[in-house]
Structure 1
Amino acid sequence: MTAPRILYHHRTAAEDGQAVHIRAMLRAFAAVGADVREVGLVRRDTEQPEPTPSNADEKGGWSLVGSAPRFVRELMEHGYSGLARRRLLAAARDFDPHFIYERYAFGNVGGVAAARRCGRPLFLEVNSPLVDELERTRGLSFEGLARRSERHVLENADRICAVTGVLRDLLVDLGAPRERVIVTPNGVHPDQYAAPGDAGARARAREDLGLGGPADDSDEVVLGFVGYYRTWHRLDLAIAALAAPELAHARLVLVGDGPARAELEASASAHGVTDRVHFAGPRRHAAIPAVLPAFDVALVPAINAYASPLKLHEYMAAGLPTIAPDQPNLREVLVHEREALLVAPGDADAFAAALVRLAGDGDLRRRLGDEARRQIDVQGLTWEANARRVLDEARTIGALEERRPLDTRSNAVRNSA
């Protein structure tokens, strides 16, 4: 049987979690036997934590967009649809894909246009309700155009891959046909994570983070967070809790950086815990699995209502118990007292009580952590499982059936599968 051929399309700079997701899915599609051609619309740094496939098409510049005035930026984002369509059609003519897999980007209707033109299905990966998100975080100069473009893409994609069930419901409200939306949560590559209790991995992680020796003979408990610090991440909850007498033996380790660092340092000083809050600095994503064994408890103090937090699945793969907010998108993965302790969002007292409970109960930490690691396999929270979900759906709609070669010069009619 011919290997599934996937044209993978994105418009993403390779410097953040979006690029991690892209590389992970490219690797996963290849691992499950697909032949993948990447079409990117931006230039990416050649020094990548994980190298991109050698068959990636040449990418165009995007370096001026971030510094442009808002209305100019939006026009450029919408304007890239034409370039997207041309590049996708050129790649499709050469590669003859079974389907196009596109990471949804604000203002981009090029994938829909190319899929319609060449008669191949479009799988659209959506990680957030982008128009709503951008209107809230940066404002929009052309909101009407943005909403029409988003609805057009959601209505015309053959399948939509939403990262949570909560997001699926939001997308349906925005115009996506419910029967076309599947849930593909963020995942991990499990083989990258050391088994819980690996003393060597723990010692190396502690040394990497500047925590000193293995501390296995002491009662020190390391509370850990990985990510970009913003105010809304509510790391202040962990710092305030650290002042409790019951947590005198605990240390908070923050791996990453971000605009909230100064206020977190001020909070640590105000609570008298500066000596027990360790800012370990950022790490390349490929290095994260190696530092997680230094943690005893992992933290997700706050997350938005529709996200599938990558850090959560990484914590689980490392066999770590997690404290997280009790909200619908996280309850899709977590069960209170099965692999995590869930607390009311923003409740400082509840968060502190959960920290005290886990810091004081090693048996509970081990039980929750072991189950967290097991749930990665049980729930299929891996990138390869996501790739299989997509291919299974492609088979369902007949996308993997052999077809005659494309002729993108003709008035090709989009397959109705």
Structure 2
Amino acid sequence: MKVLYLCNDPGIDLAGKSGGAIHIRSFVRALADLGHEVAIVTCSPRGGEKTLESDLHATIFPALLAPWNRALAQVLRAANRAVGRTPRRNPDAVRALHNLTFFRAAMDAAMQLNPDFIYERYSLWAVAGLQLAKKRSIPLVLEVNAPLAYEQQHYRAGVTCPPLAHWVEHRIWRKAHLLIA
């Protein structure tokens, strides 16, 4: 089978040592070892994609923040500092708007791979996978590791608009063809 793996979380460095990165690499490697063709769309490859592609037996499609979105992130962080708030690395608006860039990279990957299904690691504000699944009529398998809107609101730096974050999260969960928790 052909599998398009999406990770629209800029906090996960695919080559990194975090639990999320290790989980993604292990899962993709297992799929490849079983004979599946895998392509990964990720927003934070940190160089060395060719080595990583060789190790994982998968093609990597980077979906880095666009220059305009990086500029927006800097402005929002500066504004938060100016009013005495803890600045977040990737504010909600930046992450939500990144779907535009991520969707284009995911569409390119889907056009090249022609996947049998999309496997997405759920990330807060990440609607590009759902949009791609609908546009290309490809089943979406969504891996949910935590209710991220709740987690961000209660245990991290907060959410700009909690009702909207919860609504988007629940919409993605309901629209996925298969939910894995």
TM-score if structure 1 supplies the norm length?
A: 0.35
In structure 1, the partner of 2:82 is none
Q: Give the alignment of 1:9-88 within 5 angstroms.
A: 9-11=6-8, 12-14=12-14, 15=16, 16-46=18-48, 51-53=55-57, 55-61=59-65, 68=77, 69-70=87-88, 73-88=91-106
SS of the equivalent of 2:91 reads: helix
The one-letter code sitting in structure 1 at the alignment partner of 2:26 is A
Structure ranking higher in helix proportion: 2
Given the alignment, which residue of 3, 7, 10 partners 2:4? 7
The equivalent of 1:111 in structure 2 is 129
Q: Which one of 120, 130, 148 corresponds to residue 148 of structure 2?
A: 130
Deviations 1:264-288 (A, max 9, x none): xxxxxxxxxxxxxxxxxxxxxxxxx
Amino acid at match of 1:75: A
Alpha-carbon distance in structure 2 between the residues aligned to 1:115 and 1:53: 24
Q: Secondary structure at the match of 1:56?
A: strand
Instruction: Assess if the C-alpha contact under 8 Å between 1:5 and 1:35 holds in 2.
Output: yes
Q: Distance in 1 between matches of 2:126 and 2:142?
A: 11
By how many angstroms is 1:109 displaced?
A: 0.6
SS in 2 for 1:140: coil
Cross-structure match for 2:177: 158
Amino acid at match of 2:101: L
Q: CA deviation at 1:43?
A: 2.7
SS in 2 for 1:146: helix
Matching of residues 178-197 of structure 1 within 5 Å: none
Q: Distance in 1 between matches of 2:142 and 2:4?
A: 12
Match of 2:159? 140
Question: What is the rounded CA distance, in whole Å, between the counterparts of 2:89 and 2:25 in structure 1?
Answer: 31
User: CA 1:139 to 1:120, structure 2 compared with 1: closer, same or farther past 3 Å?
Assistant: same
TM-aligned CA distance change 1:76 to 1:33, over 3 Å: same
**Is residue 30–residue 36 contact of structure 1 (8 Å, CA) maintained in 2?**
yes
After superposition, the CA RMSD in angstroms is 2.7
Q: What secondary structure sits across from 1:55 in the alignment?
A: strand
Instruction: State the SS of the aligned residue for 1:43.
Output: coil
Cα deviation 1:81-106 (Å, max 9, x = unaligned): 22222222221111110000111111
Which residue number corresponds to residue 117 of structure 2?
Answer: 99
Q: Separation in 1 of the partners of 2:22 and 2:126?
A: 21
- Identity among equivalent positions (%) equals 28
Amino acid at match of 2:4: L
Unaligned runs of 5+ in 1: 163-417
SS of 1:97's equivalent in the other structure is coil
- Name the amino acid aligned to 2:173: L
User: Which deviates further from its counterpart, 66-75 or 138-147?
Assistant: 66-75
The SS at the match of 1:42 is coil
Instruction: Provide the C-alpha distance between the structure 1 equivalents of 2:58 and 2:108, rounded to a whole number of angstroms.
Output: 18
> Structure 1 residues 150 and 127, CA, compared in 2 at 3 Å: closer, same or farther?
same
Aligned to 1:324: none
Cα 1:104/1:32, change in 2 over 3 Å: same
Higher relative contact order (CA 8 A, sep 6+): 2
Asked if the contact 1:101–1:124 (Cα under 8 Å) also holds between the matched residues in 2, the reply is yes
Distance 2:39 2:114 in 1: 10
